Amino acid sequence: MDNSSKWNWKEKREKRAFLALEDGTVLHGYSVGAAKDMLGEVVFNTGMAGYQEILTDPSYSGQFVVMTYPEIGNTGMNNDDKESRQLFANGFIVHDMNDASSWRADESLVDALKRSDIPCLAGIDTRQLTCVLRDSGTMKGFISVSGTVSEEDAVRKAKEWDGLDGQDYAARVTCDETFAWDEDDSLTCSWGLQKDLPEADLHVVAYDFGIKWNILRSLRQSGMRVTVVPAKTSAADVLALKPDGVFLSNGPADPAAVTYAIESAKTLLGKVPMMGICLGHQILGWAVGGKTYRLKFGHHGCNHPVMDLKTSKVEITSQNHNFAIDQDSLDASIVNVTHINLNDNTVEGLEHATEPMFSVQYHPESCPGPHDPYYLFARYRELIEKA
C-alpha cells in the first residue's frame, strides 16, 4: 500500500509509465518526476538512505538508479546534503514515493526531480528489477512517461542506445574552469565534521572528473587548500600551480575512454604525491600499466566489505562503480594491491612500489555511507609530508 497521501489511485492511472530493458523486460509504474522520456543504464543501489547524495553524485550521470529500499522520499531534499551543483542521474526508480516529513527538508524529492528535469518511476517492483539486473547484469533501459512510445519501440531504443562503454562522461560533468574550493563550504557537512578548520598548510590540486563536495570538504578538513581543475587540464598546467599533491576524483562511465586523464596521470607520477578515488583509482591503474573491465552489475551501495591487506582490518565502505581494475594486468614490481573486496575479491586499493601514490576504489568521504575509511585522507596528508 502506498503510504503517500500525495499519490491517489486516480493520479497513478493518469501518470502510467513504464521501464523497458534491452532484453525485452518491461515493468509498469507511474510517473512522479519530470514528464520526459529518457535513456539510461539501469543499476541498483542497496543503500537504505542517502538518495539525495546519490542523485547529486556526478558518477551516476548516464544511469537510472533503482533504490532497493522500498520507501523513498521521506527525508525530502535539503541544501546541506547535496554532493554537487545539481542532480546528475538520468532517471530514478523507486517502489513507493513518499511525501517529505523531515524537519531538515527544504524541498520534496518529487519537486526536485521535476525542477531538475529528471524522470522518476514509482510503483515498480524493485525487488524483481534488482533480481533481473543481478542475474543478467547491468542493462540499458528506456523510461517512457509521455505515452507516445510503444513498449516494442522502447525496447528497441534501449538496444540501440550507445550506453556507457567507451564513453567519456567525465568531460560532460566536470567544472568549466579552475577554482579554489571555498573554505566556508568546508564547514557544512551532513554528518558533522569538525567546525573549526585547521590551517591549510598544504596545497592540493584536485582533478574534477565528477568530484563530490564532501571529498573537497574532507581534504580541507585535513589541512589542505584545494584548487579544483577541469578534467582535461594538462599535467604541465597542474604542475604550474605548484601543488604539494594531486588528487584524482571519482566520476562516471568508462575509465578507458578518459585517455587524456590517463596520459596526465602518467606524466604526474613521480613528480608529485598522488591519491585517487573511484574513477581516479581506475585512471591511476591504467597509468601504471593496468587495464579495467566491466563488472556484471557493479558495486552501488553503502555496505561493501573491504579488507586492508596491510592490517587485515575490514572496512564497510560506500561504493559506486561499474568497472574494476584487472589484477592480472598489473605488474607487481610497479604497483601493489592494498585492498580487496570481500564479496568478489575485486581490487579495491593500489599503492605504487616506489613513487608516492595510492588509490582506492571506494569512497572514504562517506556521503552517504559509513565513516570507516575516513582515515585515508590523513594517510594522504602523511604521504605528502613524507615526500
State what percent of residues in the chain have pLDDT above 70: 93
- Section 248-276 average pLDDT: 98
Please give the CATH architecture assigned to the domain spanning 9-160: 3-Layer(bba) Sandwich (3.50)
Catalytic: which of 22, 41, 355, 365?
365
Determine which one of 95, 300, 339, 363 is catalytic: 363
C-alpha grid cell, residue 318 = 560506500
First to last CA, the chain: 59
Closest listed residue to residue 261, CA positions, set 231, 291, 301: 231
Cell of 302: 553503502
Sequence-distant (6+) residues with CB within 8 A of 15 are 30, 31, 32, 145
Q: Is 363 a catalytic residue?
A: yes
Consecutive H or E run containing 120: strand 120-122
Catalytic residue among 278, 281, 348, 351: 278
- 107-152 residue pLDDT tens: 999 999 999 999 999 999 999 999 999 999 999 999 999 999 999 9
* Third-level CATH fold of 170-386: Rossmann fold (3.40.50)
Q: Which of 109, 20, 110 is nearest to 64 (CA)?
A: 20
175 flagged as catalytic:
no
Half-sphere exposure of 360 (CA within 13 A, CB side): 22
Helices 279-287 and 259-268 sit at what angle, rounded to 10 degrees?
70
Could you confirm whether 71 is annotated as catalytic? no
What is the reported pLDDT for 245?
98
Q: Where in the chain is the domain with CATH 3.50.30.20?
A: 9-160
pLDDT in tens, 23-74: 999 999 999 999 999 999 999 999 998 999 999 999 999 999 999 999 999 9
Question: Which stretches of 230-275 are DSSP H helices?
Answer: 235-240, 259-268
What are the residue ranges of CATH 3.40.50.880 in the chain?
170-386
Give me the pLDDT at residue 337, please: 98
pTM over 0.85: yes
